[in-house]
């Protein structure tokens, strides 16, 4: 069977990652969460004091970019890849609200994008990959055989993120999460460097009213159409 490249883009917290991870597992592809890479850069910058009160020291971050090594290792317990920053497991920490609050301005910096996109392209050289993010179908893999653009209402997305953080035992405020979701949408769609937008040849999926099972079935049918089989 032909091993294709699958690009999944969309707004924050619309369930892209869950969808992409499950699909990759189901069809035996590699899964890469490109957002985790921007989150790891943000964690590094915050720890090193390169972001203070939301202000990024861009020159310092540019100089330190070479000190940031991001890798993924498959976790057999969760059946999903974990993110490592310079060899340290940071999967939990990068999903916290302080990181979510600072990641979009970091991801808007052209030199950060250039470095991450280079790594993402390398990871996808062989095909057989599902990658999710904001610019995968437009910039990272413009020739991907299957591109999906996911949307859902902002309230639905904030509720999903709220439930996810609560399940992890994080104390969180729905209003704060909704504000964060809207703010990131705004920054992601308005930035100059590869803004979030639907690629002309992407299939749109509004999953506001869809269950995970329905979504999975829909996705598998899309893959089947592109590969001729599963």
Quick one: which segment of 62-70, 75-83, 132-140, 200-208 binds ligand CDP (CB under 6 A)? 132-140
* Single residue of 5, 7, 8, 12 touching ligand CDP by CB under 6 A: 12
Buried b (16+ CB within 10 A) or exposed e, 53-69: eeebeeeebeeebeebe
Site string for ligand CDP, 177-196 (x = CB under 6 A): -------x---x--------
Site string for ligand CDP, 139-178 (x = CB under 6 A): ----------------------------------------
**CA-to-CA distance for 13 and 17, rounded, in angstroms?**
8
Contacts with ligand CDP by CB under 6 A: the residue count is: 16
Q: Does residue 72 bind ligand CDP (CB under 6 A)?
A: no
Q: Which of residues 84-123 bind ligand CDP (CB under 6 A)?
A: 103-104, 107
Write the DSSP assignment of 40-75 as a string of letters.
Answer: HHHHHHHHTT-EETTEE-HHHHHHHGGG--EEEEEE
Contact 56, 121 (CB under 8 A): no
* Single residue of 5, 13, 207, 215 touching ligand CDP by CB under 6 A: 13
Tell me how far, at minimum, the Cβ of 137 lies from ligand CDP, in Å.
10
Nearest Cα neighbor of 119 from 32, 46, 9 is 32
Pick between residue 212 and residue 230 the one whose CB is nearest to ligand CDP: 212
**Look-up of token digits 């992601």:** 188
Contact 59, 66 (CB under 8 A): no
Percentages helix, strand, coil for the chain, rounded to the nearest 5? Answer: 50, 20, 30
Q: Does residue 38 bind ligand CDP (CB under 6 A)?
A: yes
* Single residue of 19, 24, 35, 141 touching ligand CDP by CB under 6 A: 35
Contact 52, 35 (CB under 8 A): no
Quick one: which segment of 11-19, 44-52, 72-80, 214-222 binds ligand CDP (CB under 6 A)? 11-19
Quick one: which segment of 20-28, 51-59, 127-135, 214-222 binds ligand CDP (CB under 6 A)? 127-135
For residue 110, how many other CB atoms are within 10 A of its CB? 11
By CB under 6 A, name the binding residues for ligand CDP.
12-13, 17, 34-35, 38-39, 103-104, 107, 133-136, 184, 188
């Amino acid at each position: 069977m032909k091993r294709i490249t699958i690009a999944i883009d969309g707004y924050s917290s619309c369930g892209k990652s869950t969808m992409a991870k499950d699909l990759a597992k189901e069809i035996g592809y590699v899964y890469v969460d490109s957002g985790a890479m921007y989150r790891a850069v943000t964690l590094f910058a915050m720890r090193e004091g390169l972001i203070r009160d939301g202000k990024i020291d861009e020159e310092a971050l540019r100089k330190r970019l070479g000190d940031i090594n991001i890798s993924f290792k498959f976790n057999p317990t969760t059946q999903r890849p974990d993110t490592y920053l310079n060899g340290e497991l940071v999967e939990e920490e990068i999903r916290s609200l302080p990181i979510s609050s600072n990641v979009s301005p970091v991801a808007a910096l052209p030199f950060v994008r250039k470095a991450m996109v280079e790594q993402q392209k390398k990871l996808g050289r062989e095909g057989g990959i599902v990658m999710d993010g904001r610019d995968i179908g437009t910039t990272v893999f413009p020739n991907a055989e299957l591109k999906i653009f996911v949307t859902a209402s902002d309230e639905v997305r904030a509720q999903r993120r709220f439930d996810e953080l609560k399940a992890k035992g994080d104390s969180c405020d729905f209003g704060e999460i909704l504000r964060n979701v809207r703010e990131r949408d705004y920054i992601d769609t308005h930035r100059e460097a590869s803004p979030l937008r639907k690629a002309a040849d992407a299939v749109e999926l509004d999953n506001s009213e869809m269950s995970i099972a329905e979504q999975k079935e829909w996705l598998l049918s899309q893959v089947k159409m592109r590969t001729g089989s599963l």
